Chains A and B, each alone.
Chain A
Amino acid sequence: MTVLDHRHHTAVPGWLPGATAPRADPAPLLPDVSPVRVLGTPALEKHDPALLRELYRRLVVGRRYNQQATTLTKQGRLAVYPASTGQEACQVAAALALGEQDWLFPSYRDTLAVVSRGVDPLEALTLLRGNAHTGYDPRAARTAPLCTPLATQAPHAVGLAHAARLSGEPVVALAMLGDGGTSEGDFHEALNFAAVLQAPVVFLVQNNGYAISVPLTAQSAAPSLAHKAVGYGMPGRLVDGNDAPAVHSVLAEAVERARTGGGPTLVEALTYRIEAHTNADDATRYRTEGEVTAWREHDPILLMDRALRELGILDDALVQEAADEAEALAARMRAEFHADAELDPMALFAHVFAEPTPQLREQAAQLSAELAAEAEVQH
């Protein structure tokens, strides 16, 4: 018997069905290696003009949000800000593809998706400002906290979607990740669980080319990250991440598929991080200016502006309206973050357990005494 005979076990007489029987439904076809594009194609004309205008408006406001947050970081007003500049199409399309009852599970770079979901832009920044971990109510916003460890929020999305399905609610969970996150074990475990449970969950990988400084070629040898879906038994879709209507339509289709019992989907959006990883990063060490310039020419706002004008659904009035809204938001951010936040140190002990342990009560008393002594000295 050759080695090959072992591999083709269906040809070996006496193999036991049940133990290794192939799935009744064949695995989906391999994802197309050319990404889905809508802008600049006839498909754009089929899109709802109101949705296209809304995507445009959110892209412009989102870009300004990214720029202002980055400036606030340079001024020391935010502890850190991982900008999604250049990736705004993924952010706003993700939020718009979800219904109000659905849940978003963002990574640390997805503040803009959180804002686009309706969370107050300043509350969404508390983690990165450094005054509180999560400034919004995740349950009210149907948005999990920004997740700093890589890919660990993906199984949470699966669990929530699974629980929702058991309860009969038509709720879908969307987990957002970066390309680096696809190397983590939690990513793979989440995909496997999602497929086995047929959970109504969508995974959106924003492949921006780099995991801090490590390029995709050193991250994965797969033909595309979307191909990773196949081994788990779910569809993988590849989309131009700078093409907002394309991202929206692919995500909307995946969300609909999940909502109607079709199970999970993995979407890879090809995009680019124009800014450095964070303010602590020097992107010139690992990528060329030429590369950045090329991607600037494939900017999501630029592409959208050009295509919508050609279609005759973008006029100067809307451009001005979006620009005004963006400036108003930036002004609000500057005003709000002009002064240091007023914080109550006793809040440190507020939410460790439902009831503080005796040990925490003692430590709270200690801090309280320290604060009283400090106040005494200042008088």
Chain B
Amino acid sequence: MAQALNSALRDAMREDPTVHVLGEDVGALGGVFRITDGLTAEFGPDRCLDTPLAEAGILGTAIGMAMYGLRPVVEMQFDAFAYPALEQLFSHVAKMRNRTAGKLPLPITVRIPYGGGIGGVEHHSDASEAYYTSTPGLHVVTPATVADAYGLLRASIASDDPVVFLEPKRLYWGKAEFDPAAPVEPIGRAVLRRTGTSAVLITYGPSLPVCLEAAEAAKAEGWDLAVLDLRTLVPFDDETVCRVVRSVGRAVVVHEASGFGGTGAEIAARVTERCFHHLAAPVVRVTGFDIPYPPPMLEHHHLPGVDRILDAVARLQWED
């Protein structure tokens, strides 16, 4: 996946000279995850800029660059390191189009490696998507496959609106073939990764492989689980989600971020409001606990795994 993201950046920069990458360590080092590897060598330090270490300054500078007509792609090194830039993101990036009645759109992509499961110490594993999804004016995209990593990053950079592009860092090392010539996947469409009739697991990003594994394990219980990958949290694909939920009748929302006030709460509420008469059971959430991200040696207790997902599926009362 890391290679696909790197290719997406490289191809976007080759095709469009207004695409500029900036962030801390994105130059000679190629980013701490090597996503920007080789970009400075190919495009020079102006197009792939090593900045001083200051996230608000990085994003604020990108805003000014976008105001002048560039298409900046910002790298925030880790999820929790993006927090100093939240004021720039919330007060300016998300609102500039609205504040200026469409005169100053900001086509900025903010790439943020997010989530746990890689043994990172504190401040390196937050799943912070709810902060972004509850901020009007931001698209929030999170790929779970290698092909989507490429296609959705291309679509995000091409978008005339700001995109928070959340990269599931525990999937960086996942391997699969992808076709860079394939049509660019538009932002805002969920995809059914696995069909099933017993229940649907609604998920995204780092939790997709866990859900696919759970669906495989569920066969032993006689359950046939569908798995739906949202891919984009904003805009939310109500249409696909509702179509699948109505046909299956039972739904579990799975994400690793804390549950209270989380994205899963929104999804469960939307599904319940729209599909109530098609549901045979309440929509259940499987999430991380409502705790600060734990030390790495304990994180496996926090992150939803196959067993916790199957327990939730069992709670959907199959007998009646």
Q: Chain A: residues with CB nearer than 8 A to chain B?
A: 132-134, 137-140, 144-145, 149, 152, 154-164, 166-167, 171, 173, 185-186, 189-190, 192-193, 196-197, 350-354, 357-359
Is B51 an interface position by the 8 A CB rule?
A: yes
Instruction: Write the nearest CB–CB distance from A314 to chain B, whole angstroms.
Output: 39
Judge if B92 is at the interface, Cβ distance under 8 Å. Answer: yes
Q: Tell me which of A155, A350, A358 contacts B64 (CB under 8 A).
A: A155
The 4 closest A-B pairs by CB, nearest first: A159-B64, A155-B60, A189-B57, A357-B235
Instruction: Specify which chain B residues have a CB less than 8 angstroms from the CB of A154 in the assembled complex.
Output: 60
Q: Which residue of A lies closest to B237 (CB)?
A: A358
Q: Is the Cβ of B139 less than 8 Å from the Cβ of A189?
A: no
21 contacts between A and B (CB under 8 A): A132-B101, A133-B99, A133-B101, A134-B101, A137-B100, A138-B100, A152-B88, A156-B63, A156-B92, A157-B64, A158-B57, A162-B64, A173-B64, A189-B54, A192-B57, A350-B101, A351-B97, A351-B102, A352-B97, A352-B137, A358-B239
Confirm or deny: B56 has a beta carbon within 8 angstroms of a beta carbon on chain A: yes
Taking the closest CB of chain A, its distance from the CB of B318, in whole angstroms, is: 33
Q: With A139-B104, A192-B52, A352-B137 in contact, do A160 and B65 touch (Cβ < 8 Å)? A: yes
Q: Are A134 and B99 in contact (CB under 8 A)?
A: yes
Closest Cβ neighbor of B91 among chain A residues: A149
Q: Does B234 lie at the interface of the complex (its beta carbon under 8 Å from any beta carbon of A)?
A: yes
Q: Is B136 an interface residue (CB 8 A)?
A: yes
Residue B98 at the A interface, CB < 8 A? yes
Residue of B52, B65, B236, B238 contacting most chain A CB atoms (<10 Å): B65
Tell whether, in the assembled complex, residue B102 and residue A350 are in contact, meaning their CB atoms are under 8 Å apart.
yes
Interface flag for B87 (CB, 8 Å): yes
Shortest distance between the CB of A351 and any CB in chain B (Å): 4
**Chain B 32-71: CB-based contact to A (< 8 A → 1; otherwise 0):** 0000000000000010000110101101111111111110
Q: Which residues of B contact A (CB under 8 A)?
A: 46, 51-52, 54, 56-57, 59-70, 72, 84, 87-88, 91-92, 96-105, 136-137, 139, 159-161, 188, 234-236, 238-239
Contact call A193/B51, Cβ cutoff below 8 A: yes
Residues of A within 8 A of B68 (CB): 159-160, 163-164, 167, 171
Closest to B232 in A: A357
B103 / chain A contacts, CB cutoff of 8 Å: 134, 137-140
List chain A residues, Cβ under 8 A from B88: 152, 155, 186
The main secondary structure of chain A at its interface with chain B is: helix
Of listed B51, B60, B105, B159, residue having the most chain A CB within 10 A: B60
User: How distant is the Cα of A346 from the Cα of B136 in the complex, in angstroms?
Assistant: 17
Chain A: which residue is nearest B62 at the CB level? Answer: A159
Are A358 and B238 touching (Cβ within 8 A)? yes
Question: For B63, B84, B97, B160, which residue has the most chain A Cβ atoms within 10 angstroms?
Answer: B63
Contact among B60, B87, B161, B235 for A190, CB-based, below 8 A = B60
- Cα-based distance from A169 to B121 in the complex (angstroms): 45
Q: How far is the CA of A140 from the CA of B70 in the complex (A)?
A: 17
How far is B101's CA from A145's CA once the two chains are assembled, in angstroms?
11
Give the distance in Å from the alpha carbon of A190 to the alpha carbon of B64 in the complex. Answer: 11
Are A163 and B136 in touch, CB under 8 angstroms?
no
Task: Name the distance in Å between B24's Cβ and chain A's nearest Cβ.
Answer: 12
B99–A145 touching, CB < 8 Å: yes
Chain A residue with the shortest CB-CB distance to B105? A354
Closest to A186 in B: B56
A163 and B56 contact, CB distance less than 8 A: no
CA distance A225 to B139 in the complex (A): 39
Given known pairs A134-B101, A139-B103, the reply for A159 and B87 (CB within 8 Å) is no
Contact between chains at B54 and A160 (CB < 8 Å): no
CB neighbours (8 Å) of A352 from chain B are: 97-98, 136-137
With a cutoff of 8 Å between Cβ atoms, the chain B residues found around residue A155 in the complex are 56-57, 59-61, 63-64, 88
Are A144 and B98 in contact, with the CB atoms below 8 A? no
Once the chains are docked, how many angstroms separate the CA of A359 from the CA of B238?
Answer: 8
A152 neighbours in B (Cβ, 8 Å): 56, 60, 87-88, 91-92
A353 touches which of B72, B101, B161 (Cβ 8 Å): B161
Contacts of A186 in B (CB 8 A): 56-57, 60, 87-88
Query: Known: A192-B57, A354-B161, A359-B238. Contact between A163 and B64, CB under 8 A?
Result: yes
Taking the closest CB of chain B, its distance from the CB of A173, in whole angstroms, is 7
Q: Closest CB of chain B to A233's CB: distance in Å?
A: 12
- Excluding A134-B101, A156-B61, A163-B64, 11 further A-B contacts by CB distance (< 8 Å) are A133-B101, A134-B100, A137-B103, A155-B61, A158-B57, A160-B67, A185-B84, A189-B56, A197-B61, A353-B235, A357-B234
Are the CB atoms of A353 and B64 closer together than 8 Å?
A: no
Task: Give Cα distance in the complex from A158 to B68, angstroms.
Answer: 11
Closest partner residue, chain B, to A361 (CB atom): B235
Nearest chain A CB to B148 CB, angstrom units:
19
Contact A159 B235 (CB under 8 A): no
Picked from A149, A162, A192, A358, the residue with its CB within 8 Å of the CB of B65 is A162
Indicate which residue in B57, B98, B104 contacts A193 across the interface (CB closer than 8 Å).
B57
- Find out whether the CB atom of B160 lies under 8 angstroms from the CB atom of A354: yes
Q: Which of A158, A196, A350, A353 has the most CB of B within 10 A?
A: A353
